[in-house]
Amino acid sequence: MRAWRKHIIVIIAYTLIAMVMTFPLASDFAAAIPGVEGDATSFVWALGWAKTALTDLCVNPFRSDYVFYPLGGATQLMWAVSLIAFVSMPLQYWFGLVVAHNVMYLAATVLTAYGTFLLAEYVIRVSGSRFQVPTFDGRSLPPFQTFLLFKFVTTQRVLVARRTWLAPFVAGLVFAFAPLRLGYGLAFFNLFNTQLIPFYVLFLMRATRESLWRAAVLAGALMGLNAYIDFQIAAFLALFSVLYAAYALLARECAVRAALARWVVAALVAVLVAAPLLAVVADDFATEDGNYIRVFPLPYSAERSYDLFSFLLPNARSTLYAHAPLRVAGINAGVNANDVSALSPDRQAFVGYVALALAAYAGVRRFRRARVWLIVAIGFALFSFGPSLRILGRETGIPLPYLLLNQIPIVNHIRIPMRYGLMVSFALAPLAAIALDDLWRRGTRPILRWMVLASPVFILLEYAVLPYPIQRIEIPRVYEQIAHEPGDFTILEIPTFHWRGAAATEVYQAIHGKRILRAYTNRIAPGLAEYFGTRGIPIVGRSLRVLEGAEKGPLTADEIAEDRRARDAVVRFFDLRYAVLHRLYLTPDDFGALDAYLGDVLGAREIFRDAETIAYEIPPAPRAIGALTIDLRENIGQLYAGRGWQFEYPKANWEGEFDFVWTRGAWSEIYFVADTRAERALSLHAYAATPQRVVVWLNGERIGEIARVSEWKDYRVALPARALRVGMNRVRLQYDAELQETIGVTMVTVDSEP
């Protein structure tokens, strides 16, 4: 068979299998996505946001105040799937967001399988040949002659025995349809996009064994591109590279100097390719201090580690083993009747008995060929077991290599050891191919040939989760109506504080392109979490938290009265134009209370209703008259204070005389709304425990400097018209160093317009 025909048939076969293994997705391709309630829809938002941000709004998709308005924040999900999002943009224009997502979803599986197929073909062709640096009269040959000789030898080996391409085809099935990977497809689209892994490993092996510069460059580029899919996958590949390099050197499978040179080239190319995204991350760390991406304590990781038998017990979603008596609490079954942890995507570690038997066969009968993949499989399995070994749910106290990984910068940000299990499934794929190739070549008995031919069926039966969970995404018609309304305003999505609700409703931003308040973008920086999650800001803070059930206790009559007084200020500040109430994520009582609250306090008027959604128009607030006085000691004052304020103790006391709010960190923010661009001034009533030099910035432009002293007084700085914006403005007070309980502030005043 001609080579190109073989590859076309393989790709078509993988595509058909992907459609079967994700059934009934194909029957509802334009209105549903694979997944369970939670993270899955947030990745749909990430794909849609890339297009909306770049082509419709012309804003930075990686950091914007269109979410977490007005503070703005990093859209961390864009770090995870930016490459996929950018590639999907033409599909979004042609077919819509949901279809584009599903095409990329299927493509991830097909390309993962096909890449593993190509890798397995290469492994079967060259693995097991003990590479010796060719010599002539006791001298090493130059790299070019080494390459030519190696190509001649491997070509001759290919002609020795006829092989079946069913073996590498099965390898593609073992990795692409592994239960853990399919599990990630239900929630973590970033970890599901594994398509670059086998291609990277293929080119890394070719660069190492054949001393190809082109392969080294391609390997580096693929490693760098993995950073645009998920940093965890990039870290997995870095660890794989270390294991493989150590093996290649110790087993003498490469010319040392040639391999080292190409590894260095690959590493440099990877850094260059990933540099733009690394710059985005560094910028976010400079703004948010990066402390929302942190090293988690070992007990946290220990609870999210695999048991020794995790890879051997069928997962909780298995179709074939659904009624098998193979349930162990804490591994593939909940510890109690209400425990759904076994359904977590991370807990679908089962590798299949057929794949495991093939790997064992390869290890015993073809150890020289299989040893590198055995090392990788065992190594990543040990990583996935976490800090110490557990056997059938019992802690043994035996320390494991994860303790070392937890000390390596960047790698130690992988807080869930289970995720290393992804590379175990990957390593089993070449082992299965080696075993099947050997069985086929030994197949003088028909039974061996039939075993090889039947292996893909049995592997897929063990891996199947049918029907594959899907969830519908229906766009309420009101969002199309809002999208056509001119202007830049904010939509109040409710629920705001139910994270699954926020993950689902933020998808609609890709349709309407307007601002939203709190969103679900993976990790939320502490400053943003505090602003929306703990402050007593009327309506959008305290009251919605209580009414949605995110904060215990009733909303009192005094608090409702405060909300009515603050209504115009809150509506004006956020420019709230619409509120959309989603029934699915609220109890009937909460839904009814919110419906009444929106009409009673905000004066909202219903404009749309269907079975799950009610949309309201919020009457605009009248224009503010007079100076804006911000009392940071009051709940409404916290509305205007962005990052850099210490509100844990809202009314600090200084020697029994003053109630005030401390600044915190290297800078503090004040936000205010202006109707026109005109000269104004900002005044602060403040105190400094030690004299402090404070630089004042307005919308990114330095406008002045004040020197605070150890007495309570008013400090005034001009706000020039050239730096003002019509709408939201940000004043930043920048300090010489990070401060804690050094500068206290009570009142901030912004002069009225002339």
Distance CA 340, CA 659 (A): 48
**Residue 533: its pLDDT value, please?**
86
Q: Where are the alpha helices (DSSP H) in 342-471?
A: 353-365, 367-384, 402-405, 421-441, 446-463
Least confident of 457-461, 546-550, 574-578: 546-550
Distance CA 671, CA 685 (A): 17
Least confident of 208-217, 397-406, 514-523: 514-523
Distance CA 581, CA 598 (A): 10
Structural contact between residues 606 and 593, judged by C-beta atoms closer than 8 angstroms: no
**Residue 247: its pLDDT value, please?**
93
Question: Could you report the per-residue pLDDT of 256-291, keeping only the tens digit for each?
Answer: 888 899 999 999 999 999 999 999 888 888 888 776
User: What does the pLDDT average to over 188-213?
Assistant: 94
Non-local (6+) Cβ contacts of 59 within 8 A are: 53, 66
Select the CATH number that applies to the domain covering 628-750 from these four: 2.40.50.100, 2.60.120.260, 2.80.10.50, 3.90.1330.10.
2.60.120.260
Distance CA 187, CA 345 (A): 7
**Residue 519: its pLDDT value, please?**
84
Distance CA 149, CA 53 (A): 53
**Residue 650: its pLDDT value, please?**
44
Question: Could you report the per-residue pLDDT of 480-532, keeping only the tens digit for each?
Answer: 999 999 989 999 999 988 888 888 899 999 999 999 998 887 778 888 888 98
User: What does the pLDDT average to over 553-560?
Assistant: 91
Question: Could you report the per-residue pLDDT of 129-146, keeping only the tens digit for each?
Answer: 544 444 444 444 455 554
**Residue 138: its pLDDT value, please?**
41
**Residue 657: its pLDDT value, please?**
53
pTM of the model: 0.90
Q: What is the domain partition of the chain in residue ranges?
A: 13-463, 477-617, 628-750
Structural contact between residues 248 and 259, judged by C-beta atoms closer than 8 angstroms: yes
Q: Where are the alpha helices (DSSP H) in 587-655?
A: 588-600
Question: Could you report the per-residue pLDDT of 683-709, keeping only the tens digit for each?
Answer: 999 989 888 899 999 999 999 999 988
